[in-house]
Structure 1
């Protein structure tokens, strides 16, 4: 329960463990090797100023993929992170993307 002492812990009422620390990980699919990680500290989480004009979900993916840019990797995302603009940005940097896009 140490997370309750943090000013930036997450509260998600639908989860069994309602309090926790949100992290974003970029992992290799076969071995589970962690390429990069972000600890989310709220709206003040600083990623990269070059991505500031995109949504937070796209910023997360772009920041995590930055070291692998131009190397021909494929990133798989769920529907929260997948968008046509993100796909275009990744493809422009020689990265493929695979995921479900929600149309609203």
Structure 2
């Protein structure tokens, strides 16, 4: 069984919380962003983390790395494959998940700093 890490889902919400998002391109312009890990066959959400913008009083750092590691933690040493989009794909995440017995599939953005210069397009 594989697991899939899709883009964050915006849940429509009009109440008062500090982490409400405004996305003008969406039909429901205000909502909460939630990072999900889903089953690849059924697309059933297995676990989610709300995007809060901050960790305590500090702005979130290494967001993609921390989100992927948190969501994949319950599946460590299960020899599963994790698939996600280019926002989450990096060499650091691949190494971290490999140490935890998981493999990845994802598109690597060409402007990532982890790509060696001889792999860059001319």
Q: Is 2:17 the counterpart of 1:6? A: yes
- 2:111 is equivalent to residue 100 of structure 1: no
TM-score scaled to structure 2, two decimals?
0.70
- 1:26 has 2:37 as partner: yes
Pick aligned residue for 1:70 from 67, 73, 77: 77
User: Greater RCO between the two (CA within 8 Å, min separation 6)?
Assistant: 2
When the two chains are superposed, the root-mean-square deviation of aligned CA atoms in Å is 2.1
* Counterpart mapping for 1:46-61 below 5 A: 55-61=62-68
Indicate the SS of the match to 2:14.
helix
Q: Which runs of 5+ in 1 are unaligned?
A: 46-51
Question: How many pairs does the alignment contain?
Answer: 97
Higher helix share: 1
The equivalent residue for 1:49 is none
Gap regions ≥5 residues in structure 2: 1-11, 112-122
- Normalized per residue, which structure has more strand? 2
TM-score after normalising by structure 1: 0.81
